Structure 1
Amino acid sequence: MTGTDQPTRQELTASPAEIGLLLPGLGRVMVALSVGSAAHERIGRIAHVARRGGALCLGGETELDLGAVRRVVLDRGSVMRGQVYPRLEFQDGAGTVLMRVVGMEGEAPFETNLAHLLGPALTPEEAAPTPAAEAGPEVAAEDCAATALLRRLHAAGGPVRVALRTGPAWQAWEGVPPEPRLVMGYVNLIAPSFHLHLRLGSVAGFHVSEEGWEAVDGAGARFGLTLRPLDAAALEGMG
């Protein structure tokens, strides 16, 4: 239970599309997608939500295939420095989390806007497991393909689109990338409205295409992360 005597986890009773349309009322949030050892997080208020075809579209930056979503769970279990950071988990039929929406302003916006949708409490056995990322080889920062490219893009000083596609979900951010930070085995981009986290060694290299630099794993497979310079000079210099 939480400090408000609410269950830690509850399933919501409305459809994923109906819940999605309520997201602008939740205040400042973090919308997070992840695949393997890569996490792409946008931070801020969601100004506009629409349903286009079978997709839930959060502005022009995030899309989620509603056909893949089987339920939405409200989790109140994340507490830091005395504040609850509630999150919505859009899950598939196996309980895998396809997209997270984390409240950055505490419980109040979530409880106010979602109170009429609260369903049954979920027991710990029903909580979706968090898959562990494969360890992979240890790689020094100077030998990490992702670190090298992120440093190159930061030094160039031009705007870049950073996008992650995870199958049923897609999210992008555009801006001048900040200087990469190395923390606890990860290389990170930390901007006020965007975070990117990549475990060192999780990117073996990049495939250059019309889409930009597409990250590949140790087996040479693209896993959905793309970095694309947005100015003409940088595009001509890709390679």
Structure 2
Amino acid sequence: MKGEEWYQADEVAKEYEDKRFSRGGRLIDRREKRAVLGAVGPLEDKNILEIACGTGRFTVMLAERGADIVGLDISAPMLQQGRKKARDAGVADHLEFMRGDAARLPFPDDHFDTVFAMRFFHLADTPAAFLSEMRRVAKEQVVFDTFNAASTRSIYNWLLPMGSRLYSRSEVDRLLDGADLELVDAEHDWILPYGFYRKIPGTVAGPIRTLDTAFGDSPLGDPLASVSYWNTRVK
């Protein structure tokens, strides 16, 4: 995985959310949470696994809404932050955080109703293997997001020392076929890349996001979107 050592550092875990989801990044946080809630649907008593749960942004949110959820991550410091967040939210008894490798999930086949991963596949060196493993432990649904090749993300990516894996629609289709998954629906968003919003104040980001959304709703919006949210079902 790209940036694996960096991701597991104590100081990164402590500053992770403040750096990514403050200022204009709050817009990203809200949109990603809406994407997850919209894809997963009714949560009461649903058994869910989150891959690369990080500090538990989604794990805790879903537990608060009635899901039975496990959050898995490779970073012990990230999981520590997630457990604190769960305690603060009063849901520590309703979820489980586990340290583990997404390439070798420690669960039997068809164990979870839904398996999802956000902010994961742009770091994946072997995405087909990861997606197949997610599908193995899912009974019904797999949800994930990708950064897209034909977008402004490619310019931003070029400027980053670590970069991200970018996906074409044809590559996503091949991944779904290889994992025996069927596309239910997809949402495409963010003409401007995430990194742009994280660098600007929220008061500036709001009006720019309004213009971004308006362009995204045009016929050119989907082809140029920098992020896609994929909702799939097990065949």
After TM superposition, the score normalised by the length of structure 2 is 0.26
Bigger share in strand? 1
